[in-house]
Structure 1
Amino acid sequence: MKTDFSKIYINGEWIQGSSDSQMKNTNPFTGEELVTTQAADKSDLDTAYKAAAEAQVEWAKELPQNKRAVIEKALEVMQENKELIIDWLVKEAGSTVIKATVEFGASINILKEAATFPYRMEGKILPSQQAGKENRVYRNALGVIGIISPWNFPLHLAIRSIAPALATGNAVVIKPATDTPVTGGLLFASIFEAAGLPKGLLNVVVGRGSEIGDDIVTHPTPRLISFTGSTPVGKRIGELAGGALKKTALELGGNNNFIVLNDADVDQAVDSALFGKFYHQGQICMAINRIFVHEDIYDEFAEQFIARAGKLKFGNPAEQDTQVGPLINRDQVDRILKEIDATVEQGAKVRLGGKADGNVLEPTVLTGVTNSMPLAENEIFGPVAILIPFSSDEEVVEQANAYPFGLSGAVHSANIEHGTNIAHQIQTGMIHVNDQPVNDEAHMPFGGEKDSGLGRFNGEWVLEEFTTLKWLSVQHQRREYGPFVNNTRK
């Protein structure tokens, strides 16, 4: 498996990008330069899409066992290079070893699920309203899929589009996030090259959004754009794709609720909240944004949560027991610090943390927060927890649904039916009772409502997204067309 990631990958070749600009990839904790890549420009993108379109024609015809064999070989290559991949996640994405190991496992599960897809391209034979006719429905590959991968879970969130796309007979062009070009793209070029994927089916263009960001969407070749990232960028992609009548699969931002009802097991709720808030420094679309706690148990929950959050180890992500590592870059740190200050100015109180050293922001907890304060209104995407009291089911449901996001969430209650009833009322694509919102299983539908995105990833649902249906009918006996045609025989 190739480990030099200083070049882009087009049509089965590692080449220098044609742009005048270079992409410097640095470790977010140490600032060390990891690799510099000559960026791709529009001509490289065009070459990649054309190569993908040409290669896809034969790949779509490939026997299912051969498609599956490539996916299974890629899985084998990943397992053989587990330590290398985890090391790249730690040093490039700022992942703790704990998080990188879990992300690797999730990526393996995606490949295992995708390996079943070549045999799940099911069609149907249906009756017809016409005598002697047979209706057939075929499931076909879309063609070429453009993928824009994010920097927070780059390995997992890239492979969840790459593997299903290839397994269903499509070709791929991927543009990884500028902060994670290796773990979000170039690693997969190396993995699938080693797995024997035919040339042209997977292309990785490392480039700046300002240079090729729009073109990866508007280029005439891709039939679907798969994007994971912020809601503003997702809306822009949706507009561009809609103008060209392309399909989109968009997994966007969240303002996820964690609701603790008055009959909840406080200790269990604190466990869940610590994981759902501080895992990967809160840089997860599913991470808890607002923690709503019933006023009857608010003080008890707050004291336990603050005490235990204060024991989380933060700092160097390469140390095995670190639980909270660095944010991806300093811009993210400064943004969050400003929102902490703005929230405090409106009456909230910092009970823990609130300081940063380089890109490492301490686990931070604020109380006295209301649902209209900046940290409640905006997606935090960092290790900052806000505790909001509520007095009734009606109040918390109203507040939880107040913002135009609906990705994930959680409800804690000793009464499963009570918790489930509240969960049904939250406008979200995913929600979990007596757990936390950061859940992703390769066979379950993943996606949001409202401003949190369109479509669903994983399992049979991504199979629907990445394929298209064709109705083909066969008239087995002569059809009579009535007076429209009969009159022409005279």
Structure 2
Amino acid sequence: MKNLEHWIGGAAISSSTENYFDDLNPIDDSVFSRVPAGTAEDVDRAVEAAHQAFLTHRDTPAAVREEWLTKAAAIMERDVAIFADILVDEIGSPIAKAGFETRFAVGFLRAAAGVPRRVRGETIPSDTPGRFSMSLRQPVGVVAGITPFNVPLIKGIKQSAMAIATGNAFVLLPSEASPMVAAQLAKLWKEAGVPDGLFNVVYGNGADIGDDLTGHPKVSAITFTGSSRVGKHIAEIAARRLKKYTLELGGKSPLIVSADADIDQAVNAALFSIFMYQGQVCMGASRIYVERPIFDKFAKAFSAATKNAKIGDLREPTTMLGPIISERQRERVRRHIDDARAKGADVLAGGEWTGNCCSATVLQGVTDDMTVFAEETFGPVTSLYPFDSLDEVIELANDTEYGLSASIFTRDIDKALRFAQRAEAGMVHINAPTLYDEPHVPFGGIKASGFGREGTEADLEIMTEWKWVTIQSADGGAGGH
């Protein structure tokens, strides 16, 4: 068991109170670390440290920031085993998923290293003779980041790397279920040479101190990943103070299998899309629509493959399913499955538990009176539905409050492109899983799945502010309006 402290101004800082909480290993709910329960005072100390560091280092040359990020990528690559161990033991990540996170983090840092030299504006023709007109992108100041438990490394790196790359300071409030990843990130940025105060961590329950962080008058931008309910609340706080913000929220992502699809390819993609990290992924394909002529064939093949999804040693590469993160979330998964059973759904596979692990579960005959029909389960549970036409499945896929990711399997490119154009989702994949990300793409959703986009290009919108500058020649007259 390890004891953590807040990371403020480049040093471990004790909490303003003696209150600590337990960070549990979800395999057996044993205590993994003891974590300070931060207060509004702790948040204020972190934001003030970030603000002062920003004022001191805001004019740091792009080449220096590039060097920090390049070093961070090398350190991350060196320490992948350390980060992977934390992901396995703290959040119950199978080693294959932990490997995905660490590889993505290295790649994102390398991509972000190129950002400092791309924070540029443009010259603009002026209507006034003799006036030189240009636009600049300048850092916003202090960026607040709130990360989820399921991909704490990916989100922690995404948020902090872009804040640092664009000349800002950063304050991180990690999920109370994954604080150790944040502690390791603090070490990474320190070793990479990032000046004290540009990266800070405050631990605690988001329900208790989240508003203190997002509503702090010296926080200029917010980047949040979590539930739609909390995201809407953060949007209200940001709107009241006119802060920039990006929200990456929940999903109920559809995966469509047309009659002309490669069934084996679709089955494998569906397995990955919903059962990777035991379904605790916002892009999870929790709704699978299969064209009626192949519905029975797909259902049989998918159910058989699902039964082979392995629960076991998290450090064994073939293990696909690990523990559900908390008792609260386990109860949610149980409730969704039990409610569907009680109301007449067929369980084609799964629905059973081994300790804190739920087996990969496939439902058929789900109707709109069942909780699982519309709500995000955030577990290894998906439902199969038949459809008869492309227009019908587009309507079904869009009939949700969410709009994060969607995919379609078909050999008909016209059909695929029509679906891509009409799908109400921020991301659409053709003949590929719903679950995918790259550092430089505009990642995010619409409707209740989010607001704004993440990525090395998209993040410039919240991490920088446009400024228009004009210069009138001294002998050219005042001009203007």
1:8-407 superposed matches below 5 A: 8-183=6-181, 185-370=182-367, 373-407=370-404
The correspondence for 1:428, drawn from 420, 425, 441, is 425
Q: Where has structure 1 moved over 6 Å in runs of 4 or more?
A: none
Residues 25, 90 of structure 2: 8 Å contact kept: yes
Q: Aligned AA for 1:67?
A: R
Equivalent position of 1:454 in the other structure: 451
Q: Distance in 2 between matches of 1:359 and 1:134?
A: 65
The offset of 1:4, in angstroms, is 6.0
Of all paired residues, the percent bearing the same amino acid is: 38
Q: Distance in 2 between matches of 1:330 and 1:318?
A: 22
Deviations 1:311-350 (A, max 9, x none): 1111332333211111111211111111112222332111
Q: Distance in 2 between matches of 1:15 and 1:336?
A: 38
The correspondence for 1:440, drawn from 416, 437, 440, is 437
Equivalent position of 1:488 in the other structure: none
Residues 261, 409 of structure 2: 8 Å contact kept: yes
Range with greater deviation from structure 2 (431-440 or 312-321): 312-321
Compared CA separation, residues 221 and 480, structure 1 to 2 (3 A): closer
Equivalent position of 2:469 in the other structure: 472
Q: Aligned AA for 1:214?
A: D
Compared CA separation, residues 372 and 127, structure 1 to 2 (3 A): farther
Range with greater deviation from structure 2 (137-146 or 72-81): 72-81
Equivalent position of 1:487 in the other structure: none
Residues 172, 200 of structure 2: 8 Å contact kept: yes
Q: Distance in 1 between matches of 2:123 and 2:420?
A: 39
Q: Distance in 2 between matches of 1:410 and 1:468?
A: 34
Q: Distance in 2 between matches of 1:5 and 1:416?
A: 55
Deviations 1:112-138 (A, max 9, x none): 111001100111111110111111101
The offset of 1:355, in angstroms, is 1.6
Q: Aligned AA for 1:273?
A: A
Compared CA separation, residues 169 and 465, structure 1 to 2 (3 A): same
Residues 76, 105 of structure 2: 8 Å contact kept: no
Residues 28, 356 of structure 2: 8 Å contact kept: no
Deviations 1:360-398 (A, max 9, x none): 001111112245632121112111121011111121111
Residues 269, 433 of structure 2: 8 Å contact kept: yes
Q: Distance in 1 between matches of 2:55 and 2:16?
A: 27
TM-score normalised over the length of structure 1:
0.95
The offset of 1:32, in angstroms, is 2.2
Residues 255, 289 of structure 1: 8 Å contact kept: yes
Structure 2, unpaired ranges of 5+:
none
Matched, 1:416 2:413: yes
Residues 145, 165 of structure 1: 8 Å contact kept: yes
Compared CA separation, residues 371 and 434, structure 1 to 2 (3 A): farther
The offset of 1:211, in angstroms, is 2.6
The offset of 1:77, in angstroms, is 1.5
Range with greater deviation from structure 2 (196-205 or 76-85): 76-85
Secondary structure class of the residue paired with 2:106:
helix
Compared CA separation, residues 302 and 481, structure 1 to 2 (3 A): closer
Q: Aligned AA for 2:432?
A: D
Residues 456, 465 of structure 1: 8 Å contact kept: no
The offset of 1:459, in angstroms, is 2.5
Secondary structure class of the residue paired with 1:155:
helix
Residues 419, 433 of structure 1: 8 Å contact kept: yes
Residues 429, 448 of structure 1: 8 Å contact kept: yes
Deviations 1:136-172 (A, max 9, x none): 1011111100000100001001111110110110000
Q: Distance in 1 between matches of 2:225 and 2:233?
A: 13
The offset of 1:460, in angstroms, is 1.3
Residues 166, 172 of structure 1: 8 Å contact kept: yes
Compared CA separation, residues 213 and 202, structure 1 to 2 (3 A): same
Secondary structure class of the residue paired with 1:385:
strand
Residues 289, 376 of structure 1: 8 Å contact kept: no
Structure 1, unpaired ranges of 5+:
485-490
Range with greater deviation from structure 2 (318-327 or 435-444): 318-327
Q: Aligned AA for 1:81?
A: D
Residues 315, 326 of structure 1: 8 Å contact kept: no
Deviations 1:244-297 (A, max 9, x none): 111111001111010111211111111110111101111111111100011111
Compared CA separation, residues 480 and 69, structure 1 to 2 (3 A): closer
Residues 351, 365 of structure 1: 8 Å contact kept: yes
Q: Distance in 1 between matches of 2:272 and 2:209?
A: 37
Q: Distance in 2 between matches of 1:481 and 1:336?
A: 67
Q: Distance in 2 between matches of 1:481 and 1:106?
A: 52
Residues 35, 179 of structure 2: 8 Å contact kept: no
Q: Distance in 2 between matches of 1:84 and 1:105?
A: 13
Secondary structure class of the residue paired with 1:323:
coil
Aligned length: 480
The offset of 1:303, in angstroms, is 0.3
Secondary structure class of the residue paired with 1:150:
coil
Secondary structure class of the residue paired with 1:451:
helix
Q: Distance in 1 between matches of 2:399 and 2:18?
A: 46
